[in-house]
């Protein structure tokens, strides 16, 4: 009784060359004692038309990993090689180490060699039907890694002579434009702590005056001084104080609506009676007399 496992897989053995490969089956329509296999399989097993080959049923584990090596650098021209390979492997049932499979893409045939498969087995083959296969690529045959040369820094054409550097010259042109000396003097004169200091010895605390630097003392033609900053710090320019507006009056609030309101419907006021005109009201005419006299 035959114990056949699906998908049906077979081992192809060329005993003359001691070479082995694996494959699936497409149809059972060949004549008895004859088999038709792809050209790349015949090249892998070093077979010629009419050569003898041994075929046996086999079981292969489901593949988990495969490492491939393209046989031409033209394979690098493919924009998405993994997508192309995934589509091509749908036509394969097995992959065996040292096999060179062929795939067609854009009217070009590419040869790809199987370098490694996982899980490893004595048959050195895996089944790729209905399985998640992780793929890795080795550099193509004939590929040369380009040499990366660091960009050489060009020396400055106008080096600065350290002997001609004026250490007292900050930035003469910019200092004139922003009034740097005045800003430094005003900043030094600001008293952050306005209280009086006292010494433990009881002596008076003397005031220290800062030396004011004049712009005229700076040499505008001198080379700029090196800006030596601590690590992780950058220089963003000189301090600038915005001018104070001359108009100190507070801005009056702006009234948006200043016109008089008007109504489309005029209200009617009730008229009042004027009793001072000499006319008596109807209430006074209907008043009853104080007494009635009866004549016997």
Q: What is the pLDDT of residues 68-113, one digit of tens each?
A: 999 988 888 888 888 888 888 888 999 999 999 988 888 888 999 9
Say which DSSP state 110 is in.
E
Residue 4 corresponds to which tokens in the numbers above? 């056949």
Would the pLDDT of 170 be above 50?
A: no
Give the pLDDT confidence of 15-31 residue by residue, as tens digits.
Answer: 988 999 999 988 888 88
In the chain, the percentage of residues whose pLDDT exceeds 90 is 17
Total number of domains in the chain: 1
What distance, in Å, lies between the first and last C-alpha atoms of the chain?
Answer: 162
Q: Is the pLDDT of residue 149 over 80?
A: no
Specify if 170 maps to a domain. no
Q: Compute φ and ψ for 283, nearest 5 degrees.
A: -65, -35
Q: In the prediction, which pLDDT does 273 show? A: 47
* pLDDT surpasses 70 at 279: no
Selection from 79, 136, 144 nearest residue 113 by Cα: 136
Let me know if residue 207 belongs to a domain: no
- Computed over every residue of the chain, the mean pLDDT equals 75
Alpha helix stretches (DSSP H) within the chain: 39-44, 81-88, 172-178, 180-189, 282-285
Q: Which residue has the higher pLDDT, 276 or 96?
A: 96
Exposed, middle or buried: residue 178 (CB in 10 Å: 0-12, 13-18, 19+)? Answer: middle
Q: Which residues of 266-285 are buried (b: 16+ CB within 10 A; e: fewer)?
A: eeeeeeeeeeeeeeeeeeee
* Band (264; pLDDT cuts 50, 70, 90): confident
Residue 72: C-alpha distances to residues 76, 80, 92, 223, 278 (Å): 8, 16, 21, 60, 130
Distance between CA atoms of residues 123 and 109, nearest Å: 28
> Tokens in use for 170?
């900050």
CATH label of the domain that carries residue 25: 3.10.330.10
Q: Is 288 part of a structural domain of the chain?
A: no
38 in any annotated domain: yes
Burial pattern 222-261, b for ≥16 Cβ within 10 A else e, equals eeeeeeeeeeeeeeeeeeeeeeeeeeeeeeeeeeeeeeee
Distance of alpha carbon 238 from alpha carbon 183, whole angstroms: 10
- State the residue range of the domain holding 77: 9-137
Q: Is the pLDDT of residue 122 over 70?
A: yes
The model scores a pTM over 0.85: no
The rounded distance, in Å, linking the Cα atoms of 91 and 96 is: 15
Distance, in Å, from the CA atom of 292 to the CA atom of 296, rounded to the nearest integer, reads: 13
DSSP summary character for residue 234: -
Pairing verdict, β 108-118 and 100-105: antiparallel
Kindly state whether residue 212 falls inside one of the protein's structural domains: no
Q: Is residue 21 part of a domain?
A: yes
> Among candidates 7, 11, 38, 5, which has minimal Cα distance to 23?
11
**More confident: 89 or 202:** 89
* 100 belongs to a structural domain: yes
Q: What is the mean pLDDT of residues 32-50?
A: 90
The reply to whether 233 falls in a domain is no
With beta carbons less than 8 A apart as the criterion, state whether 106 and 41 touch.
Answer: no
């Amino acid at each position: 009784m035959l114990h056949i496992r699906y998908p049906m897989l077979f081992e192809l053995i060329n005993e003359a060359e001691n070479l082995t490969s694996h494959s699936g089956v497409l149809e059972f329509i060949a004549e008895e004692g004859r088999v038709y296999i792809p050209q790349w399989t015949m090249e892998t097993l070093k077979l010629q038309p009419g050569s003898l080959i041994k075929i046996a049923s086999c079981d292969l584990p489901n593949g988990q990993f495969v490492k491939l090596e393209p046989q031409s650098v033209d394979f690098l021209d493919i924009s998405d090689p993994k997508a192309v390979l995934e589509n091509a492997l749908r036509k394969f049932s097995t992959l065996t180490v040292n096999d060179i499979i062929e795939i067609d893409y854009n009217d070009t045939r590419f040869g790809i060699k199987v370098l490694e498969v996982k899980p490893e087995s004595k048959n050195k083959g895996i089944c790729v039907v209905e399985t998640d296969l992780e793929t890795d690529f080795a550099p193509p045959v004939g590929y040369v890694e380009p040499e990366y040369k660091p960009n050489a820094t060009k020396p400055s054409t106008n080096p600065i002579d350290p002997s001609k550097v004026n250490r007292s010259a900050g930035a003469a042109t910019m200092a004139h434009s922003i009034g740097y000396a005045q800003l430094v003097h005003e900043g030094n004169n600001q008293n952050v702590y306005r209280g009086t200091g006292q010494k433990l010895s009881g002596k008076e605390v003397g005031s220290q005056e800062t030396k004011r630097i004049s712009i005229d003392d700076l040499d505008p033609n001198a080379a700029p001084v090196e800006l030596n900053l601590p690590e992780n710090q950058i220089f963003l320019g000189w301090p600038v104080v915005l001018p104070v507006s001359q108009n100190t009056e507070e801005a009056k609030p702006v009234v948006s609506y200043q016109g008089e309101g008007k109504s489309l419907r005029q209200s009617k006021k009730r008229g009042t009676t004027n009793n001072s005109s000499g006319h008596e009201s109807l209430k006074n005419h209907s008043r009853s007399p104080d007494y009635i006299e009866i004549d016997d």
